[in-house]
Each structure stands twice: as C-alpha cells, then as structure tokens.
Chains A and B, each alone.
Chain A
Amino acid sequence: MSSFATFAKTLLQTLSSPPCVFTKVKTRCHHRDCYRRCRLRRRRLQAREKMEQRLASSLIMTVNEKKFIEDALLSDIRVDGRRPFDYRNLTIRFGSEDGSSEVQLGQTQVIGFVTGQLTQPYRDRPNEGAFAIYTEFSPMADPSFEPGRPGETAIELGRIVDRGLRESRAVDTESLCVIAGKLVWSIRIDLHIIDNGGNLVDAANIAALAALSTFRRPECTLGGEDGQELIVHPPDVREPLPLILHHFPVAVTFGFIGKENIVVIDPTHYEEAVMGGSMTATLNTNGDVCAIQKAGGDGVLQSVIMQCLRIASVKAGDITSKIKNAVESYNTQRSLRKIKRHNLDQQGSSDVAKHHMERLTVGSDQSGNGSQFNEHDKTNKRNNTLKGFSGGPASWDPYSSGVDGDALRTTLASRVTPLDKHKEESSPVNPETKPSPKSSDTIGLEMKQSKTLKDAVKPKHKRRNKSNAC
C-alpha cells in the first residue's frame, strides 16, 4: 500500500473510532483532544448515573394517583379509607429505659430518647435549665433521606417541635436549676425517624412528649463535708425525679390538596407528594395555640385557617389523652417493677419463698413511708396490686427458677467494683429490670460532680449485691 493510503487508513481509524477507555482499542491515543473527549464522556456518564439514582430514589408518582386522590376527596374519601379529618392509628410504646418512647402513626415510626446532663447555664439565664432537640432522618426511613447533615425538612421538623415546647414553656426549665449560675440540667431530646409514612411532624412531636413525660433525672442535693459539694444520687439510692411538664403542646398537621383547597388532616406519604401546601398547628388542651407553621405552599383563606384551628383543638385533646394513658400505664408498670425488686432485696435469698409474704407486708409499710415513692400519687393503686400479689418469684418472673444463694454470694464477693461497666451475662432472671437498689454503705455512693449521669446509672444486668444486704 502506498504511504498515503496507510496514512489515510490510520487517520480514518483515529477519527471514526475515538480511542478512549470506553471502546475496545489496542492502543490508547495520547492526543490531548482524545483525553478531553474521554473526560467529557466520563463526566457525562457520571452525571447520567447520578440523575438515574436521584430519579429512582425520589417518590415516583403517577398522574393517575394525583388525579384520583383529588377526585376521591371531592366525595370525602381518602385512599386508605379514612375521612378527611381522621387520624391514623396511633400506638405509643416505651422502651426499658426512662425517657425512651416509640410512636407509630400508621406507617410512620419515630423513636424519641431523652437524656440529661449537668452543664453550665447560659449567661443571661443563670437559673434556668436548657433543652435541645436533635433530629435524625435515618436513611432506612425513606430512599430520599441521606445520612449526614440534616436536610431542610429535618431542620424544619426540629424547629417546629422545639418551638412548641419552648415558646409555650411546656417544660419547666427553672426546676432544672441545681446551683444558680453554676450548674443546671441540660436536657437533650433525640428524635429518630425510623419509617416515613407521611406526617413526620406530628409523630415526632408525640414521641418527644411521651419521652419527656417518662424521663427521670437523678436527684441532686448539696452535701459533703462543707455543704458545698454536689451529690448526684444514683437512681437506686434516691428515686429519680420526673420533669415538670405544665401542659402538652400537640402538633396537628393539615394538608391542602387541589385547587378548591380541600383540607385533610394527617396526610400520608402520597398525599404529601400531591398536596399544594401544608400547615402545622401546635395546641394544647387548654385551648392555647402554642405555634403555627405554614411555610410556603398554596394560599388559604382565613376562614379555612380558623376552621383548621378548631378541628386541631379537638384532635389535640384526643392525642393528649392517649399520651397520658400510655404514660400512666408505663408508670404503674415501672412502680410495680420497683416494688418487686425492693421486696426481693430485703432478705437473704435462700428463703425466698418462705418469707415472701412477710416481706410483702414489710415492703408495703416501708414503701408507704419511704421517700422513694413520695412523688408517686398512685400508692392506692399499688397497695391494691400488692394485696392481690401472692406467691414466690415464679409468679412475677416466669424465667426465674429461684436463686442459689451461696453461689450468688461467692460470685458477688469476687467482684472488684460495682461501678464496673461490664455487662455480666447474668441468667435471664430479670431481663428488663432497672439497676437494683443497692443498700450497701461500703460501695461508694457519693459521687463528685465531675462524673456525668452515665456514671450514676448502673448497667442494667448487674446482679444485686446480696452479700451486703442488711
């Protein structure tokens, strides 16, 4: 072949099949243009993949759904069979620790967790405690939630819940003061969104309220040698105190769908994608409007807003009573658990069954007088349950087969320090009880203020120190 032909052939080859990493050519062209074309193509491919990912992870709505939701609302019916002003099923459950709640509103699930810490107060408010709300939108709740920094909706949700509690002064911050100007309790509320089925604000608010109602902070007194030291009493010595909540600000969310501004309460995930605007009203049962949030969206008439507020106050009453019932049943269960542990602690373990009835009467007398149960105004209920109580450990603990006292004493005596944080694999005697009351004086119960709340709370599965029982 002539040199011109070979040159033309190679030229055509270079032009027709641009050599880059994406096509199968033996040699890689090192011309600057080829590199640039490669980079461009690579970038375009990455952009396409990112767009595909975004499309796939956002909620995909069909035009049929939008039209259907609006049409169905014209005849006052919603896709899941509810009427426009019906809430979904609300379930409130509590964890084994004080201050943890799990709320399920239809498909939406939120976990709330309250913890407290001793800190310095703000300079301009020296005798008020502080509280802060942290939200976490877990990626398992929704494909569009990304891990890491909270997005816009997360921050807005945190703000709505915070405003409802703070501006209305629902949480009594002055009672959180320990030493004015130096030490106050700082309460931290963590809200984790587990499942997004729509209307996260309401569910998160209920979770926060439920968790705050069951949270207990340790009691602190001034004592020590010079009377200036702060003693944080662990929960087994002195019963921890609940927070003081003046009222329950409940958030009620409305969605405005369609051009005629049809109002629905508690929108689901699909309705949220279809609605033109939304409004959240936070009210309490006393009829006070604590906060209103309407950020953008379609405009609504003033009359519609007033109607919404009236409906919201009715719903707030329902939800408040549900929260209060759930909290009450949790408190009775908790106090029942405390009694059983308190009773078992009174005596050596070898004669558990024999002296059980005796201990019951002793325990009930003590519990009536003890300072531990002072703040519970449910002593009547408890006394009734005590009277109905009969039998040994098998009746209250199905897993227990009785305790071998000698073996227990030897294992406990060999333990070094009770403040050890190892979780001992104890038998599943009390899988859910809280740290047992330790009545020993040898264990150093007084703690310096540099230790945090975590040190005050003993790990759960610790065997109680029977060898030191009186």
Chain B
Amino acid sequence: MEAKPSSSSPSKFVDQLVVPGDVILDLSNMANQTLKLGGGLRQDGDSICAMKAGKLRFMKPNKYWVESSQKRYVPSAGDNVLGVVVDTKPENFVVDIKGPALAFLPVLSFEGGTRRNIPKFEVGTLLYVRVVNANTGMNPEVSCMDANGKAAEYGILKDGYMFESSTGLSRMLLSSPPHPVLEGLGKKLSFEIAVGINGRFWVNASQSSTVILVGNAIQKSESLSLVQQKIYLEKLLKSIQ
C-alpha cells in the first residue's frame, strides 16, 4: 500500500491526512487513464475531492481510497466480519454486523448445507462471516463459506468474549507487521482471537482472566503510538508475572 512514483504521478496526499474538500487529483492533466475510486472520494467535474476525513491510500496501479476509523461500519463485499444473530426467518438468518442495515445470512450458505441440515442458531449467536454483497439501500448478504464454497473457519464462535472496537483498530490488528501489543501478548499467553473488520473482535482463552487482560489491553492500546505501545506492553507483561 505504499505509493511508488509512477508515470502518472499519484497524488501528493497519499498516506497523508485529508479532510473533506481537499482536491486529491486534477484530472485535466491526466488523459486516457482509468482510476478506481474507493470510499470517501468523489469526482467533481475535473477534480477528485475527498469526502471523508482520513488517510488517503493508494494501491498500484490505479486505486485510491480514504481510510478512516469509525465506530460504525459500512459494509462492503469481501470483508470478514463478526455478526450476531438477531432473528431467524425461514429463508435466512438476520445478522447484525454493526452497519446501517441488518444483514441476511441464507440458510443454505454453509459448506454442505442442504435443506435437511440447516444449523440451529439461537438469537445472540456469534458468527464469523464473509460479506458477499453490500449495495446501498439493500440489506447486505453474508455467507459462512468462502468464494470456493469451503467452510474456511467461518461459522459459529463458541465461548470467549466479544469486545467492541473501532474499524481503525480492527485494521491495525489485521495489518502486517502485526500489532505490537497483540504480538507481545501472543508470545506470553495462549489465546485465540478473531478480528472482524466491522469493529468487533473476539478473544477466547482457557482462563477468563486471560481473555479480559488481552481484550482490555488491545482496547486501551488503540490511542497509543508505537513507542507508547511498546512501553505499555512491557508494563503489562511485568505485571502478569
């Protein structure tokens, strides 16, 4: 996701903070090029301006988007999210993914799912699902299978505890190089974690105290810089012993 200077000079604002109204690119001196605009950008005649406040990102060859951290999630296809079942219908489960509308999980979208072996999810079940399509105005559709039809670790998450975070923290947890606090705790303690890009993450361990420690540490480290995170991690590990 770094910007390398290419022949069609990418915007000066790449990897910098932009606010609504900033003109990212001037199209008048770029001809015969296709640009893909992601979230937070808008074409205004001959210029591309930012609509959201956040960091401008660029991916080769031609994708631009604005990345910001919010508590609400805007569903988009291909994301892996943590959903909670709120209702069951004959055709699909109604799942909440922290977006503007509830998502539908078709009853048959499980590996080897037929009408005979429909899983029984009660209200409040936590699921790790993939967003299949999310168009504005429609309820998004999610699925417990990957694109090839395999289960691939999607499905119900048992035990553990789900913590709320912001979308920015979820992205940080999923980024590589890994989040320092997460990595440090992982070396010392044994736990499993599932991160949904919609601002939720789930932690499970053999002991409740471990779960609480990991969850709270990650939540508190959101607003710390890298250096502060390392200091926080050291203090935390010392207090565990």
Contact = CB atoms under 8 A, between A and B. Distances in A.
Interface of A: 52, 55-56, 60-68, 71-72, 75, 77-81
Contacts of B102: 52, 55-56
Interface stretch (B8-16, B156-164, B181-189): B156-164
Contacts of A56: 96, 101-102
A7 B46 CA distance: 57
Residue among A60, A75, A78, A80 having the largest count of chain B Cβ atoms under 10 Å: A60
A77 B212 contact: yes
A77 B209 CA distance: 7
B88 to A, nearest CB: 12
Nearest to A72: B208
Given A75-B209, A77-B212, A62 B159 contact: no
Contacts of A61: 84, 124
Interface in B203-228: 208-209, 211-213, 215-216
B22 interface: no
A64 B160 contact: yes
Contact of B122 (A52, A63, A71, A81): A63
The 9 closest A-B CB pairs, nearest first, are A72-B208, A68-B161, A63-B124, A62-B126, A55-B86, A62-B124, A60-B84, A60-B96, A62-B84
28 contacts: A52-B94, A52-B102, A55-B94, A55-B102, A56-B96, A60-B86, A60-B96, A60-B124, A61-B84, A62-B84, A62-B124, A62-B162, A63-B125, A64-B158, A64-B159, A64-B161, A64-B162, A64-B202, A65-B162, A67-B159, A68-B208, A71-B208, A72-B209, A72-B211, A72-B212, A77-B209, A81-B212, A81-B216
Assign chain B's interface to a size class.
20 to 34
Contacts, number: 62
A52 B160 contact: no
B216 A64 contact: no
Contacts of A77: 208-209, 212
Contacts of A79: 161, 212, 215
Nearest to B121: A63
A469 B86 CA distance: 70
Nearest to B82: A62
Given A52-B102, A81-B212, 9 more contacts: A52-B101, A55-B94, A55-B96, A61-B124, A64-B160, A65-B161, A67-B159, A72-B211, A80-B216
B18 to A, nearest CB: 27
A67 B96 CA distance: 20
A53 to B, nearest CB: 10
B111 interface: no
Contacts of A78: 212
Contacts of B208: 68, 71-72, 75, 77
Interface string B81-111: 0001011000000101000011000000000
Nearest to B200: A62
Nearest to B159: A64
Contacts of B215: 79
Contacts of A80: 212, 216
A468 B135 CA distance: 70
A65 B94 CA distance: 19
A64 B157 CA distance: 8
Contacts of B158: 64
Contacts of B202: 64
B62 to A, nearest CB: 36
Contacts of A71: 208
Given A63-B125, A75-B209, A77-B212, A68 B86 contact: no
Interface in B147-187: 157-162
Contact of B125 (A55, A62, A68): A62
A314 to B, nearest CB: 25
Nearest to B85: A62
B96 A64 contact: no
A68 B213 CA distance: 14
Interface string B28-39: 000000000000
A78 B126 CA distance: 21
Contacts of B94: 52, 55
Given A55-B102, A60-B86, A62-B124, A68 B159 contact: yes
Contacts of B86: 55, 60
A78 B212 CA distance: 8
Contacts of A52: 94, 101-102
B93 to A, nearest CB: 13
Contacts of B122: 63
Contacts of B162: 62, 64-65
Contacts of A75: 208-209
